[in-house]
Structure 1
Amino acid sequence: MSAAAEYKKIRTAVFPVAGLGTRFLPATKDIPKEMMPLIDRPLIHHGVDEAVASGCSRVVFVTGQGKESICRYFEPSFELTALLRERGKAELADAVDSIYRLAEFHYAYQAKPLGLGHAVLCAEEFCRDEYFGLLLPDDVMIAEPTALSQLEAVREKYDGSVLCLEEVAPEDVSRYGIVDAEEIEPGVYRVRGLVEKPKREEAPSRLAIMGRYLLSPKIFKHLKNLKRGAGGEYQLTDAIASLLEEEPVYATIYKGQRLDCGVKEGWIAATVVKALEDEKLREIVLKAVEDFKAAHGA
């Protein structure tokens, strides 16, 4: 980063939560996918925890129809906490009371789910003048330091937007946005181009963009000029590709574990992983597996 540029850590995290959650129907008919529980907290709470641990003090939810429970979850629950304290459950009361104190919460409305690029544009009023984090709640990241903090370290060094990467199998490239990039130091890349969900034979690499971004406010200008891309939606990758013509974009392979909760199989696996991390729950999971094997002769 040049000496003339003043480095300021990000303070705002954006969460796009207006999607329909069709992979989890019928459960998501009335319950937003982001509110599906991962042990004792909904998916979205895990993402907010990461944002806060990364230094963010403002959280922006880009919501849509039927997402009111997300707003209610992060609002104060004075009656509930008072009742819990009356019943001698002070620890539970403190846990509930701490939720709305995590950050300063704001809401933007996306009338129709028109793609990730459109969702980010809906949040412009909250971060048009500063770098901001974008976190997709489907991806629960287990990392120390946090995945977003790892991106922040790259931005501090190189000054530019930063994407979170994972190297995927060749047969999986069509599921992700893929970068064409030049490695400038181990695990850190300067991005030359991006393509959304390419065919296996057309993918420029196996470096896939995962659900964490650190974006320059200049991205909004490019989002406004977007045309519909893959799937008939406004793709964030297209806007980032356009941003490349104005300023550099970097990427880094994060160090940690990603739990893909965007599909039922991943959500189940993530629940098991998080349970195994808990000393009390671990024994319950292992016993259930052994009981199942005994009952079915496995």
Structure 2
Amino acid sequence: MGKVKKAIIPAAGLGTRFLPATKTVPKEMLTIVDAPIILYVVEEAVQAGIEDIVLIAGRGKNAIEDFFDTSFELEDKLAKDGKEHLLERVTKIRDKANIISIRQKHAYGLGHAVLCGLPIIGKEPFAVLLGDEITMGEPNVTSQLVKSFNETQVSTISVMKVEDKDVSKYGIADVEETNKGYFKVNSLMEKPKPAETKSRWALPGRYVFDNHIMEILHSAKPSLHGEIQLTDSMKVLCQTHGLNAMTFTADRYDAGDKLGYLQANIELALRNPELGNELKLYIKELAQRLN
């Protein structure tokens, strides 16, 4: 079946859940410290050895495409704004990966967005990284999933434990542990109520699939909200061809969520050599005032 060298990054909806004034700005282009969210996601894919990155973009997503395109205007503006470090990061991506954009003509859900990548993916295995989720750590989450798939040739997804109050925010996997941190997936539910499942293993937006998922998505019917849910097709996949899951140690931020976006900015700023020390002192001072 081969090794994972391709990835799909579905872009989320326009605007954000917390900045309604930015109705024409894709949330993936919002800045975390000094770079847009989408850059962190693409860098994770490249670090995992991905060579072809397919951006699935809907209407109004031209800013994402333009950001990764070769553009004198963009590069000149970054240079004039003193953002050479950001330009270096984008250039490194261009040197290591092919950025390909496909338009999702209708917003029919995450499953449909993944299916839109079929012309580039073909029969090969591929990763999926949600465009408003950031994970930071060594090894990164996608690298772990790619390694697992390359060894087992079985589709593998990341899972994380969540509290009861957060169950309805995620797809939830019913799993059985096969080794420490590794699981066999028995079934999945999309955003269930806490009483509807005993599992608290949520899907945080990182997956690696073999091509069987495309076959299943191709015949999938709309379900929740009239959308083609990726979770529904993953449920069929685990029953027909098998699906594994694994935990991860990297830090993860839901940058499409109000609190997650703030947490990502704070924690990544603390890691920034130019901002970290001053921000740490400010947080300590603030904590004393709050007490």
Q: TM-score surpassing 0.5?
A: yes
CA contact (8 A) 2:16 2:256 kept: no
**Alignment map for 1:203-242 (pairs within 5 Å):** 203-242=197-236
Aligned to 2:149: 155
CA contact (8 A) 1:227 1:234 kept: yes
Aligned to 1:53: 47
CA contact (8 A) 1:18 1:113 kept: no
Aligned to 1:72: 66
1:106 has 2:100 as partner: yes
Deviation for aligned residue 1:283: 2.7
Using the alignment, how far apart are the partners of 1:297 and 1:47 within structure 2? 34
Structure 2 vs 1, CA of residues 289 and 222 (structure 1 numbering), >3 Å: closer, same or farther?
same
State the one-letter code of the partner of 1:68: N
1:246 has 2:244 as partner: no
CA contact (8 A) 1:191 1:250 kept: yes
Using the alignment, how far apart are the partners of 2:152 and 2:92 within structure 1? 36
Aligned to 1:182: 176
Using the alignment, how far apart are the partners of 2:40 and 2:192 within structure 1? 30
1:118 has 2:112 as partner: yes
Aligned to 1:24: 18
Deviation for aligned residue 1:226: 1.5
Using the alignment, how far apart are the partners of 2:220 and 2:86 within structure 1? 47
Aligned to 2:132: 138
Using the alignment, how far apart are the partners of 2:165 and 2:290 within structure 1? 34
Unpaired runs of 5+ residues, structure 2, are none
Aligned to 1:3: none
State the one-letter code of the partner of 1:209: L
CA contact (8 A) 1:178 1:204 kept: no
Using the alignment, how far apart are the partners of 1:158 and 1:207 within structure 2? 22
CA contact (8 A) 1:18 1:110 kept: no
3-state SS in 1 of match to 2:249: coil
Deviation for aligned residue 1:77: 2.6
3-state SS in 2 of match to 1:10: coil
> CA offsets, 1:195-225, max 9 Å, x none?
1111111114111111100011111111122
* Aligned positions, number: 291
Q: TM-score, normalised by structure 2?
A: 0.91
Aligned to 1:191: 185
CA contact (8 A) 1:18 1:65 kept: no
CA contact (8 A) 1:179 1:204 kept: no
Aligned to 2:38: 44
Using the alignment, how far apart are the partners of 2:229 and 2:290 within structure 1? 49
Structure 2 vs 1, CA of residues 204 and 159 (structure 1 numbering), >3 Å: closer, same or farther?
farther
Deviation for aligned residue 1:264: 1.5
State the one-letter code of the partner of 2:121: C
Moved more, 224-233 or 250-259: 224-233
Using the alignment, how far apart are the partners of 1:83 and 1:217 within structure 2? 41
Rg (Cα) greater in structure: 1
Using the alignment, how far apart are the partners of 1:22 and 1:82 within structure 2? 28
1:279 has 2:273 as partner: yes
CA contact (8 A) 1:82 1:93 kept: no
Using the alignment, how far apart are the partners of 1:225 and 1:200 within structure 2? 29
State the one-letter code of the partner of 1:41: A
Unpaired runs of 5+ residues, structure 1, are 1-5
Instruction: Output the aligned Cα RMSD.
Output: 2.5
3-state SS in 1 of match to 2:274: helix
Using the alignment, how far apart are the partners of 2:246 and 2:155 within structure 1? 11
Provide the identity percentage.
Answer: 37
Using the alignment, how far apart are the partners of 1:261 and 1:80 within structure 2? 24
Deviation for aligned residue 1:191: 0.9
